């Protein structure tokens, strides 16, 4: 994502945290990130650093899980393009840009 944003100013990502149950503490970490509204904490989570406990009560993550289930999303990353098509799994920056340009 960061590589794409460095190359292209016309592409925007909306990050919706969707912690999978197989990842220990993922939901708690996602709530901490949402409470602080922090991209820095998101980076820390991907680097497997310890995160603080959530500093607020939020249902955002629970709502995200319900939305993903309604949409049939069962893994991450999942990318929904502007035309509504779903890309599942990791893609290189170049491959994702190609997919975006095809739409």
Segment 36-65, tens digit of pLDDT = 999 999 999 999 999 999 999 999 999 999
SS3 of 16-68: the string is CCCCCCCCCCHHHHHHHHHHHCCHHHHHHHHCCCCCCCCCCCCCHHHHHHHHH
CA within 13 Å, CB half, 8: 14
Query: Which class does domain 2-102 fall in?
Result: alpha beta
pLDDT(24) > 90: no
Q: State the average pLDDT for the chain.
A: 93
Question: Where are the chain's structural domains?
Answer: 2-102
Its pTM surpasses 0.85: no
């Amino acid at each position: 994502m960061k590589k794409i944003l460095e190359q292209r100013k016309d592409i925007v990502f909306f990050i919706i945290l969707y912690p999978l149950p197989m990842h220990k503490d993922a939901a708690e970490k996602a709530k901490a990130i949402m409470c602080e509204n922090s991209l820095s904490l998101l980076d820390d989570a991907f680097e497997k650093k310890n995160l603080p406990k959530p500093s607020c009560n939020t249902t955002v993550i629970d709502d995200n899980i319900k939305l993903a289930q309604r949409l049939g999303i069962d893994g991450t990353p999942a990318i929904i393009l502007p035309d509504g098509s779903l890309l599942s799994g990791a893609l290189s920056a170049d491959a994702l840009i190609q997919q975006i340009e095809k739409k």
